[in-house]
């Protein structure tokens, strides 16, 4: 007979918040309070994703619980979970209009983004939630707010939310919803072309989007639509796109034939390489002047153009490390190792990232792996020795290092 599942007090507290059972929430909170006060208890009790009772209550639209936690106990309405999402973000994702309204009126900042820059308006635009979008904008949400996926307009275009696109373009108060705004190499018009959203393409063109602007691979929206064999989108874009000299027949049939021809593929590869070299060069220039944020942007563009280049991942990992962003530095370093496992510098980048994260054993292991493929690398030798000495608090000789590598 299986043993009954026993819920922990922490689980019961978070479940009570999610269910809106405020009496149970208070009772369990008191059980977990060891003299520091209920407010601190409710902040400290989290699930694996770093979500507190306030996040759970917001996601499920339990506004009365949010009021108790924020108004009565004084919890910060902008508490972030492990991904950086606020209660307002969770309420938006849960489509909890009343809770969003209450949070926004009681200290929640609509422009606080998570680790990827996503704010509540990005989530609302992505889902096409017009009422919530209006509400958030009325509370000061920035239409031009940037994220890894672009602006709210880009999010709406990428998910085919025609009405959301129209609403964002029609907002006179915020002229920042620029239909040509670039983020990570893609623009709203390119998103719409890739998705075959002809009506959204028309909306964007009407709002002033430039059909001749290229994305990271050097392609226009028309070419992207043609690559997806979307005749309707090509027909919308053809009359407003300037003729591209390499296309021998500038007609619907001619364009479709060319983009899928060997010559068309060759030209795209050439464009991609040009964009890669340009972006990499701009990244190196930014790094030299210690503008690491700009360098990361350009290295990201280079990665989009050539996603299997280990050097660029190494360079971007270094930039993240200079900004003390250990997790992101590690992610790029691991990609670098996967792409080029016999490169000592890749392992060095991984070791540095682990060190930033405070994991000295993993840091030492990464440096040791690097020495296996590049045993004479002085930088790796020093880094390995320092990591081991920091971990064990004792000097490490060259001999011990060699023994470690042979095991």
Report the distance separating Cα 27 and Cα 33, nearest Å: 10
Report the distance separating Cα 363 and Cα 353, nearest Å: 7
What is the DSSP code string of 71-97?
IIS---TT---TT---HHHHHHHTT-H
The whole-number pLDDT of residue 209 equals: 85
> Along the chain (407 residues), what's the average pLDDT of each consecutive run of 10 residues?
58 96 95 90 93 97 97 96 94 97 97 90 95 95 84 86 88 44 64 89 87 85 95 96 95 96 92 91 96 91 91 96 91 96 96 92 93 92 88 60 40
CATH superfamily, domain 1-107, is Ankyrin repeat-containing domain (1.25.40.20)
CATH superfamily, domain 308-406, is Tetratricopeptide repeat domain (1.25.40.10)
Which stretches within 228-377 are classed as H helix?
231-237, 252-259, 262-288, 292-305, 310-322, 326-339, 344-356, 360-373
Token pair recorded at residue 102: 């209450």
Question: Which part of the chain has CATH 1.25.40.20?
Answer: 1-107, 110-260
Strand positions, DSSP E, 189-332: none
User: In the CATH scheme, what is the code of domain 110-260?
Assistant: 1.25.40.20
Report the distance separating Cα 246 and Cα 266, nearest Å: 11
What does pTM read for this prediction? Answer: 0.67
Question: Which part of the chain has CATH 1.25.40.10?
Answer: 308-406
Asked whether the CA dihedral 201, 202, 204, 208 is positive or negative, the reply is positive
Could you tell me which of 353, 350, 345 has the C-alpha nearest to residue 311? Answer: 345
Which stretches within 94-148 are classed as H helix?
97-105, 120-127, 130-138
Tens of pLDDT along 306-322?
999 999 999 999 999 99
Q: Taking the CB of residue 263, how many other CB atoms lie within 10 A of it?
A: 12
């Amino acid at each position: 007979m299986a043993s009954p599942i026993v819920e922990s007090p922490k689980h019961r507290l978070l479940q009570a918040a999610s269910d809106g059972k405020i009496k149970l929430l208070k009772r369990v909170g008191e059980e977990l309070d060891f003299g520091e006060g209920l407010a601190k208890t409710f902040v400290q009790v989290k699930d694996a994703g770093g979500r507190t009772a306030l996040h759970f209550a917001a996601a499920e639209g339990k506004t009365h619980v949010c009021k108790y936690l924020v108004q009565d106990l004084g919890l910060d309405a902008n508490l972030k979970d492990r991904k950086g999402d606020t209660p307002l973000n969770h309420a938006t994702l849960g489509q909890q209009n009343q809770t969003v309204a209450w949070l926004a009126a009681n200290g929640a900042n609509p422009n606080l983004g998570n680790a990827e820059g996503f704010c509540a308006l990005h989530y609302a635009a992505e889902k096409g939630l017009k009422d919530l979008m209006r509400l958030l904008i009325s509370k000061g949400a920035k239409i031009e707010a940037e994220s890894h996926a672009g602006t709210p307009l880009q999010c709406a275009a990428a998910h085919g939310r025609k009405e959301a696109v129209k609403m964002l373009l029609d907002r006179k108060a915020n002229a920042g919803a620029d239909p040509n705004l670039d983020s990570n190499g893609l623009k709203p018009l390119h998103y719409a072309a890739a998705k075959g959203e002809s009506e959204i393409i028309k909306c964007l063109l009407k709002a002033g989007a430039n059909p001749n602007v290229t994305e990271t691979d050097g392609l226009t929206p028309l070419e992207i639509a043609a690559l997806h064999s979307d005749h309707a989108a090509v027909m919308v874009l053809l009359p407003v796109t300037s003729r591209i000299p390499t296309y021998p027949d500038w007609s619907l049939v001619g364009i479709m034939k060319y983009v899928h021809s060997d010559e068309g593929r060759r030209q795209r590869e050439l464009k991609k390489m040009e964009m890669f070299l340009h972006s990499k060069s701009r990244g190196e220039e930014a790094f030299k002047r210690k503008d690491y944020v700009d360098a990361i942007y350009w290295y990201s563009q280079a990665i989009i153009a050539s996603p299997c280049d280990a050097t660029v991942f190494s360079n971007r990992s270094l930039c993240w490390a200079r900004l003390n962003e250990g997790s992101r530095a590690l992610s790029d370093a691991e990609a670098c190792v996967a792409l080029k496992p016999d490169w000592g510098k890749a392992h060095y980048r991984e070791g540095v990232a682990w060190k930033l994260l405070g994991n000295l054993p993993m840091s030492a292991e990464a440096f040791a792996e690097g020495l296996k493929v590049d045993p004479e690398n002085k930088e790796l030798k020093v880094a390995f020795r320092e990591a081991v000495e920091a971990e064990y608090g004792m000097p490490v000789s060259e001999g011990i290092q060699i023994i470690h590598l042979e095991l």
